[in-house]
Copies of this chain bind each other. A is one copy, B any other.
Amino acid sequence: MQYLHAMVRVRDLGESLNFYVNLLGLKEIRRSEYPEGRFTLVYLATAEGQPEVELTYNWDAPDTYGDARNFGHLAFAVDDIYALCATLQAGGVTIRRPPRDGRMAFAKSPDGISIELLQRGQPLPPAEPWMSMPNVGTW
């Protein structure tokens, strides 16, 4: 038995690719368009052969796919949590749980999927502006 992927539905493929690829740093591994079913699947991963995040983009997506608490988050270990949070923030993403401890941060995808970032190895030394940044909303 092998873990393959987590699928999320996205309302706006361009906005989601900006979040997951340009800002978060995942790579697009492959893409399939299904004109008859009017949807596109895009598979993202840290690298080919790694577990994937499957984006399902229905061309006639509703205004919202809603948001609930039964699904929690997708978690990634990252090389420099401060650099990645700065990139996300510069791209307009709110850091909902700033990495005050140099170890853990949370942000949300454009469709409200919570993403946990964990510093690989030892936590970084606490540093501003993160140290004094408050939480924002839920994550």
Q: Which A residues lie at the B interface, using CB under 8 A?
A: 1-9, 25-26, 45-46, 50-51, 53-54, 56, 62, 64-79, 111-113, 116, 118, 120
Contacts and interface: CB of A to CB of B under 8 A. Distances in A.
Q: Which of A6, A25, A51: most chain B CB closer than 10 A?
A: A6
A7 B73 contact: yes
17 contacts: A1-B46, A1-B76, A2-B76, A3-B46, A3-B50, A3-B51, A4-B76, A4-B116, A5-B75, A6-B72, A6-B74, A7-B116, A8-B72, A62-B69, A66-B68, A68-B68, A70-B71
A66 B70 contact: yes
A58 B1 CA distance: 28
A66 B112 CA distance: 14
A77 to B, nearest CB: 4
A119 to B, nearest CB: 11
A49 to B, nearest CB: 11
A41 B120 CA distance: 20
Contact of A76 (B3, B79, B120): B3
